[in-house]
Amino acid sequence: MARRLALLAILVAVGAALVAGPGAAAPRGPIKIGLIVPLTGVFAPNGRDMVNGLQLAFSQVGYRVAGRQIQVLTEDDQGVPAQTLTKARKLVELDKVDLIVGPLTANSGYALRDYIDEQKIPAVYPIVSSDDLTQRKRSPWIIRTGWTSSQPNHPFGEYAARVLHYKRIAAIAYDFAFGWECVEGFQDTFERSGGRVVLHLWPPIGAPDYSPYLGRIPRDVDAVYATFSGGDALRFLQQYRAYGLEGRIPLIGGGTLTDEHILFQEGDLAKGIITALHYSAALNTPANRDFVRAYVRAYNRVPSYYSEGTYTGALFIIRGLEAVGGNVENRGAFVAAVRKVVLPDAPRGPVRLDAWGNPIENVYIRRVDIVNGEPQNTVIYTYPQVSQFWTFTPEEYLKQPVYTRDFPPAHP
Condensed to tens digits (0 to 9), the pLDDT of residues 61-96 reads: 999 999 999 999 999 999 999 999 999 999 999 999
Cβ of 355: how many Cβ atoms within 10 Å?
Answer: 8
Half-sphere exposure of 195 (CA within 13 A, CB side): 30
Q: What is the mean pLDDT of residues 192-202?
A: 98
pLDDT at 7: 40
Q: What pTM did the predictor assign?
A: 0.92
The 10s digit of each residue's pLDDT in 252-285 is 999 999 999 999 999 999 999 999 999 999 999 9
Contact of 310 with 101, CB cutoff 8 Å: yes
Amino acid code (one letter) for 305: Y
Tell me which fold the domain 31-147+284-357 belongs to. Answer: Rossmann fold (3.40.50)
CATH 3.40.50.2300: which residues of the chain? Answer: 31-147+284-357, 153-277+362-397
Q: What is the mean pLDDT of residues 217-240?
A: 97
For 105-109, the CB contacts below 8 A with 24+ separation are: 105/38, 105/43, 105/79, 105/81, 105/176, 105/178, 106/130, 106/149, 106/176, 106/177, 106/178, 106/181, 107/81, 107/176, 107/177, 107/178, 108/36, 108/77, 108/79, 108/80, 108/81, 108/84, 109/133
The 10s digit of each residue's pLDDT in 291-327 is 999 999 999 999 999 999 999 999 999 999 999 999 9
Q: String of b and e for 306-320 (b: at least 16 CB within 10 Å)? A: bbbbbbbbbbbbbbb
* pLDDT above 60 (res 24): no
Q: What is the mean pLDDT of residues 150-176?
A: 98
pLDDT at 14: 39
CA distance 70 to 59: 10
Number of residues in the chain: 412
Pairing of strands 68-76, 64-65: antiparallel
pLDDT at 134: 96
CA distance 349 to 67: 29
pLDDT at 13: 43
Name the strands in the sheet holding 142-144, side by side, starting at the edge strand that comes first in the sequence: 64-65, 68-76, 31-37, 99-101, 123-125, 142-144
Contact of 104 with 79, CB cutoff 8 Å: yes
**Top-level CATH class of 153-277+362-397?**
alpha beta
CA distance 151 to 18: 57
pLDDT at 28: 83
